[in-house]
Every structure is written in structure tokens, then in C-alpha cells.
């Protein structure tokens, strides 16, 4: 990243895209649909190019590049949700107990399909924390990414695991 910021050469940007594009896309796809994920990942890279052209507003050498990119992608996705009025309903759903029947929504016998369906039923903030953890981020890094407290992230992860266990019919 520092090579790209220092030189502005596209070959360094290409290396960043090759290294992080798929992870960003998978995260965004897990939080939205295919079209929105594609749009947001493109917008994220455009923002990276715009930010790095203004090196004063870029990132320092100590910054974790992956965390920085995921933060840009997350904020861009939230902005898009707000624009589409989806964010409010996602937040309201966080306080409700999951009411949809898992049997009704899952017809396939595959455990992976069942898991993905259960994951999709989690409230946005729980799903987000869980996915970040699966992407290899620590609780502290997730806390920094989402601008929430360490304890809040720990709680979201605990609730996500409990809800997944409940939805999949496995003991906690």
C-alpha cells in the first residue's frame, strides 16, 4: 500500500486488488446481494484511488491495510443501505427474535447450505462481526473496524454463535 501511495503506480494498485478484492467481495456478498456487492467493491477501489491521490489523507505506514480496506467497504455498504432505506430495517431487526422457521427456509440437505441460510438470518451487526472474525480479524480489530467497543463485539459474536446454534438445531 505504501508503494502505491508513494508512487501512484497502477502496478501496486493491481497487487492490492489481487490480494484483497476477493475477500472484500465475499464480505460484501455476505451482507448484501450480488449486484450491490459488485457495485460497492468497485466504489471501494475508486475511493482508495481517490484517497491515495491525496497522500495527506491516506493511511500511515503503521495502518493495517486489510482493516483499512474493509472499513472503507463497510462504510460504503452502509451508505448504500441508507440510500436504499435498508439500513433502518436491518437495525430494527436486530432487536427482534428470529421468527422465520428454519425448516421453511431450508429445503436442501447440505449442512453448508443450512449454515449459509442460518447466517443470512442473523441480524446485520451480528452477521457482520461473525464474518469479520471468519475473515481472520481479531475482536480488537473488529472493534476498530466497526467503531464499537470491544465488549460490544464480544457480545455480538456470542449472540451470533448462540443464534446460529439455535437455528441449526445444535446445542450451544
Residue among 112, 118, 110 at smallest CA distance from 168: 118
Measured at the CA of 86, the angle between CA 94 and CA 139, to 5 degrees, comes to 45
Q: How far apart are CA 129 and CA 120, in angstroms?
A: 13
Q: What is the rounded average pLDDT for all residues in the chain?
A: 81
Measured at the CA of 22, the angle between CA 76 and CA 35, to 5 degrees, comes to 55
Residue among 87, 57, 65, 94 at smallest CA distance from 3: 65
Q: Quick one: pLDDT at residue 51?
A: 81
Measured at the CA of 40, the angle between CA 69 and CA 150, to 5 degrees, comes to 45
Domains, in order of start, for the chain:
1-84 (1.10.1740.10), 94-172 (1.10.10.10)
Q: Between 13 and 74, whose confidence is greater?
A: 74
Q: pLDDT tens, 48-96?
A: 888 877 665 455 565 788 888 999 999 999 999 888 876 555 555 544 5
Amino acid at each position: 500500500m505504501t508503494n502505491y501511495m508513494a508512487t501512484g503506480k497502477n502496478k501496486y494498485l493491481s497487487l492490492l486488488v489481487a490480494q484483497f478484492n476477493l475477500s472484500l467481495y465475499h464480505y460484501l456478498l455476505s451482507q448484501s446481494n450480488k449486484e450491490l456487492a459488485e457495485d460497492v467493491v468497485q466504489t471501494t477501489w475508486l475511493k482508495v484511488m481517490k484517497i491515495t491521490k491525496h497522500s495527506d489523507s491516506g493511511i500511515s505506514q503503521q495502518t493495517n491495510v486489510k482493516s483499512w480496506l474493509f472499513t472503507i467497504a463497510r462504510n460504503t455498504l452502509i451508505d448504500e443501505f441508507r440510500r436504499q432505506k435498508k439500513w433502518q430495517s436491518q437495525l430494527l431487526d436486530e432487536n427482534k427474535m428470529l421468527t422465520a422457521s428454519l425448516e421453511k427456509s431450508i429445503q436442501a440437505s447440505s449442512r453448508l447450505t443450512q449454515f449459509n441460510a442460518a447466517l443470512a438470518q442473523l441480524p446485520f451487526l451480528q452477521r457482520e462481526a461473525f464474518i469479520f472474525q471468519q475473515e481472520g480479524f481479531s475482536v480488537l480489530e473488529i472493534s476498530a473496524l466497526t467503531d464499537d467497543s470491544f465488549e460490544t463485539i464480544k457480545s455480538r459474536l456470542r449472540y451470533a454463535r448462540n443464534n446460529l446454534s439455535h437455528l441449526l438445531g445444535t446445542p450451544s
